[in-house]
Amino acid sequence: MSALNANIGEYRLMDFIGAGGMGEVYRAVHTRLGRVIAIKILTQLEEPFVQRFQNEVRIQASLRHPAIAEYYGLHEYRGRPCLLMELVDGESLAERIRTRGALAPGEACAILRQVADAVGYVHSQGIVHRDLKANNIKITSAGQVKLLDFGIARQARGNRLTRAGMLIGTLENLAPEQIGGGEGDTRSDIWALGVLLYEMVTGALPFEGQNLPELYDRIRAADYTPASVRNRAVPAAVEQVIAGCLRKKPAQRYQSAGELIAALDAIPRAPAVPAARQNRLPLGVRGRWLAIGGAATVALAAAIIAIFSGKNDDQGQVSQTTLICVPEGTASDAGQRIRLETDDGPADIYKNDQLVGRTGCVIEASVGQKFDLELRRPGYRNKAVSFVVTERSATYTYALDPK
């Protein structure tokens, strides 16, 4: 259905934002005051969906937290209930990971801390979210995290909306106790926060499989590749926080969002780097830093990922040199800017079996430099790539083949 230009109360629907499993979301403007909000209209009128929508409205109306979209009211449009709430600008966390690949550990931990603070508040209200994932987290243009979508959240004293043994939530984010159809509790949300942190620092989910039984088995066994194996820039302290969330038994995980926040706050900060050294650091420095928060720190993180390429010497032979991945817009005297991209998500860049970077980076280069690299992504065949930098800056985009 399309309700564009319809009036709901004193609001007019101006733009379609998106659709989910139960409804459609629109940007709406108050016809007299000009106030801009979001309106979610239930499109599935079967009884189970109506009950879930009512549950979402009830929970949204009960919450007041800066990291949770504010509830404005409930209306009806052509017999369909409509939830009026704060319009959150910016991008989803899933979009940020999809466009940038793995986030700097410091940025990832700062985001997770905000999410955990919101989740801790939700838990204090007797609510389990049950669908914590990158698509349900937005980051505003001001850097504020917003937790969205309480469609399958459960109140401790609320009516049971799922049958025993029914899976509820996003499969890759479910905790072991939920795989068997259990409802889970606040510690299941802690597990999902660990999945989020892992995804942010690696650009990939910790639990994947060629089929559902394989995925279920890996989740039940808490069997995942350590984040630092996929991204050597992940410090041991961050790896420990991930492990503290992804314990197979709920009793062995962090028992509350507060415990998780304390673990994040205990991660040591790296000493400040002198300004003269911020744009070029040797490869050996990569992976030995962690700074929580701060736009300058995030920019620095992107600037210290190095990869190897070749440069012609006077005899026309290719000699090895080191190039630095830099943030776009950084001033530089380098002749060219080369971007490596891969379809369908990021991939690790290897040189002589050594992990040296990740696609999505911008590389300072010179005309004539030759690259012989290999791109790798779990579940895909390794791809050897080779190219020589020409007179014009360029983007090199590759597609990896599934195994």
Alpha helices in 125-185 (DSSP H): 176-179
* Helix pair angle (105-124, 236-245), 10° resolution: 30
The number of beta carbons lying within 10 Å of the beta carbon of residue 277 is 12
CA-nearest of 92, 98, 74 to 20 is: 92
The number of beta carbons lying within 10 Å of the beta carbon of residue 323 is 23
- b/e code 350-367 from CB counts within 10 Å (16+ = b): bbeeebbbbbbbbbbbee
Instruction: Measure the CA–CA gap between 241 and 115, rounded to whole angstroms.
Output: 15
CA-based torsion, 370, 376, 377, 382: positive or negative: positive
Q: What are phi and psi of 68, to 5 degrees?
A: -130, 130
Instruction: Measure the CA–CA gap between 355 and 121, rounded to whole angstroms.
Output: 40
Q: Give me the active site residues, please.
A: 131
Alpha helices in 16-124 (DSSP H): 47-62, 93-100, 105-124
- Amino acid letter, 95: E
The tokens of 324 are what? 């630095």
Q: Which residues pair with 26 in a beta bridge?
A: 16, 39
Contact between 84 and 11 under an 8 Å Cβ cutoff? The reply is yes
In 3-state terms, what secondary structure has residue 104? coil
Instruction: Measure the CA–CA gap between 307 and 321, rounded to whole angstroms.
Output: 9
C-alpha pair distances (Å), 346 with each of 95, 101, 111, 170: 12, 5, 20, 21
